[in-house]
């Protein structure tokens, strides 16, 4: 009894230390500001959010669907932040950190309750808490929706384990209700019914297998069907929120890209993105807030990525009989990432670090359970102290990498300069660097970045509009007129470009300088030439 008490006490201490280290890693976000990418659009300049809690604002949160997602719970948390902290960024950042700490604790508790393996569970939770891929959702206030959705998702998984241990109507309804709350924060986990079936396979062992002399292993189809029927309320909720998410993003033009993306191009991006996510998990270098969508991917890259995914899939299923955690972890990764892998292109991005927040748990499970099994199979005997030192070393390296990457999130200029430097063709990051330089009055430098952004993506309507406004601030209205005209030609509904166009015509007319299409085109040509030295 005393020994068991000591073990429990040690586990509490270790869990607390993990949360303390995570807090120490991220606490400096308290000194960071808002990011100019989505933060202003979503809540800083959103009157329904920045005015704090009110019945009208709460009603808006439940009825609005024109800003990327239907996510009333996320809107309400932002309203609470503005009610408490106002427009001061530190408090908003600390809320994100607090949710990340809660997520880490819930993940650890869920895995331990489901598997009864503490050390593997704490290692997975540590990777989740400290990995550089998870810097983005913690450091970016606009990624609150990912954190909050995950919070309710982990609570759902924990309740599901409780329900499996002691089935009952109340526990079942609580589990379904918690899942709906997750979807109301962000419909990322529309694949949770599928994930629950994976958990039924491992670690909950609810699927039963038999054997026959003639055909070998067989599946108890009746029991498997009952497990599927059990998920029907989850599936209905998932389908409803998936449809709602698609309609919301369609209204906000989030599912459209700058150029039409063909099906073969999308398929290639899906294959390469899956492989890239795994690569970034093991080698988290060159992380960026934006990874631009590549319309043309080298064939060799697609082939290598497809071969890698195929080999891993074959390997995990060939070893599934004795190591169920292998297909369970791999299916966790593949399935939970599927909604955002790019089958339906979302804006101009090919992938995003925040999308890995839950999916990479699957890869972590394979490592946490697989490495000890591999050493055992190879008859490699390591002292517990050696195992602990090895695990701590890995986590320390990841923590240092996260600390270094976190420094780029201190302001928008650092963040987008980093993204432009470590990626190719990142016209959005280039234009954002230009915008930050323009705020500082460095118009010539800003113009060079804007020119480079439209050189990289000639159909970037906003880039031409940004160029027009930067040139207008230098009173160069002829060149500004050319770029505003170009922006409107690409997107006749771009209101800011049409306003800029009217301003330029007014200023040219007021100064009695005759305007002609020839002079505008000449001005535009000289502007493009100036980008050659960028």
What are 461-504's pLDDT values in tens digits? 999 999 999 999 999 999 999 999 999 999 999 999 999 999 99
Q: Yes or no: say if 279 and 353 are a contact pair by the CB < 8 Å rule.
A: no
Pairing of strands 216-219, 349-351: unpaired
Q: Note if the pTM is more than 0.85.
A: yes
Q: Is the model's pLDDT at 32 over the cut of 80?
A: yes
Q: Yes or no: say if 35 and 415 are a contact pair by the CB < 8 Å rule.
A: yes
Q: What is the mean pLDDT of residues 265-270?
A: 90
Q: Yes or no: say if 21 and 130 are a contact pair by the CB < 8 Å rule.
A: yes
Q: Is the model's pLDDT at 455 over the cut of 50?
A: yes
Mean pLDDT, the chain, as a whole number?
89
Q: Yes or no: say if 31 and 90 are a contact pair by the CB < 8 Å rule.
A: yes
Residue (of 222, 43, 223, 78) closest to 148 by Cα position: 78
User: What does the alpha-carbon distance between residue 25 and residue 265 come to, in Å, rounded to a whole number?
Assistant: 39
- Confidence at 520, pLDDT banded by 50, 70, 90: very low
Q: What is the mean pLDDT of residues 51-59?
A: 95
Q: What is the mean pLDDT of residues 417-432?
A: 96
* Strands annotated E in 220-283: none
CA-to-CA dists, residue 325 to 201, 328, 360, 365, 525, angstroms:
9, 5, 14, 7, 61
pLDDT reported for residue 256: 47
CB atoms within 10 A of CB 396: 12
> Can you name the residues that pair with 291 across neighbouring β-strands?
351
Tokens 């998932």 sit at which residue?
A: 238
Q: Is the model's pLDDT at 253 over the cut of 90?
A: no
Q: Is the model's pLDDT at 184 over the cut of 70?
A: yes
Pairing of strands 349-351, 291-292: antiparallel
Q: Which two tokens stand for residue 483?
A: 């770029």
């Amino acid at each position: 009894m005393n020994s068991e008490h000591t073990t429990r006490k040690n586990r509490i201490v270790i869990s607390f230390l993990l949360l303390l280290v995570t807090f120490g890693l991220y606490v400096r976000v308290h000194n960071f500001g808002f990011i100019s990418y989505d933060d202003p659009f979503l809540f800083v300049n959103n009157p329904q959010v920045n005015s704090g809690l009110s019945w009208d604002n709460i009603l808006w949160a439940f009825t609005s669907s024109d800003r990327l997602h239907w996510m009333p719970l996320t809107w309400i948390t932002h309203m609470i932040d503005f009610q408490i902290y106002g427009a001061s960024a530190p408090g908003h950042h600390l809320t994100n950190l607090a949710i990340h700490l809660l997520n880490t604790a819930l993940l650890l508790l869920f895995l331990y309750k489901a598997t009864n393996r503490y050390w593997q569970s704490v290692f997975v939770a540590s990777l989740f808490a400290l990995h550089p891929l998870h810097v983005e959702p913690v450091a970016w206030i606009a990624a609150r929706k990912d954190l909050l959705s995950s919070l309710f998702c982990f609570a759902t998984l924990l309740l599901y384990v409780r329900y499996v241990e002691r089935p009952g109507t109340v526990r079942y309804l609580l589990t379904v209700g918690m899942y709906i709350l997750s979807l109301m924060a962000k419909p990322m986990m529309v694949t949770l019914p599928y994930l629950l079936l994976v958990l039924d396979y491992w670690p909950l062992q609810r699927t039963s297998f038999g054997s026959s002399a003639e055909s070998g292993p067989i599946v108890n189809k009746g029991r498997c069907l009952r497990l599927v029927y059990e998920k029907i309320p989850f599936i209905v909720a998932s389908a409803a929120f998936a449809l709602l998410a698609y309609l919301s993003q369609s209204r906000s033009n989030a599912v459209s890209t700058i150029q039409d993306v063909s099906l073969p191009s999308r398929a290639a991006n899906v294959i390469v993105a899956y492989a890239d996510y795994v690569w970034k998990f093991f080698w988290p270098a060159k992380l960026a807030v934006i990874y631009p969508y590549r319309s043309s991917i080298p064939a060799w890259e697609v082939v290598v990525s497809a071969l890698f995914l195929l080999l891993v899939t074959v390997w995990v299923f060939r070893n599934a009989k004795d190591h169920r955690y292998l297909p369970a972890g791999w299916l966790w990764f593949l399935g939970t990432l599927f909604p955002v892998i790019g089958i339906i292109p979302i804006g101009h991005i090919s992938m995003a670090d925040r999308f890995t927040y839950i999916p990479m748990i699957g890869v972590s499970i394979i490592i946490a359970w697989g490495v000890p099994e591999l050493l055992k199979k190879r008859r490699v005997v390591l002292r517990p102290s050696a195992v602990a030192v090895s695990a701590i070393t890995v986590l320390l390296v990841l923590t240092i990498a996260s600390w270094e990457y976190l420094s780029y999130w201190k302001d928008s200029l650092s963040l987008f300069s980093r993204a432009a430097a470590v990626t190719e063709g990142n016209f959005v990051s280039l234009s954002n660097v230009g915008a930050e330089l323009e705020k500082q009055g460095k118009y010539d430098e800003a113009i060079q970045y804007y020119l480079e952004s439209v050189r990289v993506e000639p159909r970037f309507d906003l880039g031409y509009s940004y160029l027009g406004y930067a040139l207008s601030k230098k009173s160069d209205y002829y060149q500004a007129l050319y770029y505003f005209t170009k922006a409107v030609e690409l997107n006749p509904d771009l209101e800011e470009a049409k306003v800029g166009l009217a301003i330029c015509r007014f200023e040219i007319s007021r100064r009695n300088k005759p305007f002609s299409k020839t002079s505008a085109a000449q001005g535009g040509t000289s502007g493009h030439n100036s980008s050659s030295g960028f």
